[in-house]
Amino acid sequence: MTVTAPPLPPSLRLAQAVGIMTSAFLSGGVLAVSYGFVPSMSQAPNTLLVREWRTTYGRGVAASPAIAITSALSYIYLSYNLAFTLNQHKAEIYALAAFVTGSIVPFTLIFMKNVNGKLNQKVEDSKHLGRSEEMNESKSKKGENAQALLDWWAVMNFTRGMLPLTGACLGIYASFFMTS
């Protein structure tokens, strides 16, 4: 005779939905910027390019941490509530999903600090220029002009977007494919 866990209560089902949806939403937004925004902006003059990057970056800074925390807290709630039940292994997978999804914040602060700082400096350098004036980047070090920095930022941002995607996949796996 096999012992199975009872069905999950509605609060845990809601936490599953919130965790999966928010981590998938966050990943989609982050990846869309690297895959859609950056290539389309590569045709723009550098002055416009860095200003548009700053606007997009600002929107991400305003929304992404709250979405990541909401997702991670949902997974933590699931992990905590399943930790001492017949669903112990699910609890561990949810804890891993929380960690991976939440790690988007320290990844950004640690690994993207340098390129973000350089791009922000480019924005500051362009503030005195008019809409049609172009930044003089002839003295920029190799790989440190606006386009090269944005290209590197897109790679780092794509990597960053894979973190909540992994969290969503772990959440889906634990919610729908693991047995008790």
- What is the average pLDDT score of the chain? 91
Token pair 């606007």 in the structure block, residue: 55
pLDDT digit string, tens, across residues 95-143: 999 999 999 999 999 999 999 999 999 999 888 766 555 666 655 666 6
pLDDT digit string, tens, across residues 44-85: 888 889 999 999 999 999 999 999 999 999 999 999 999 988
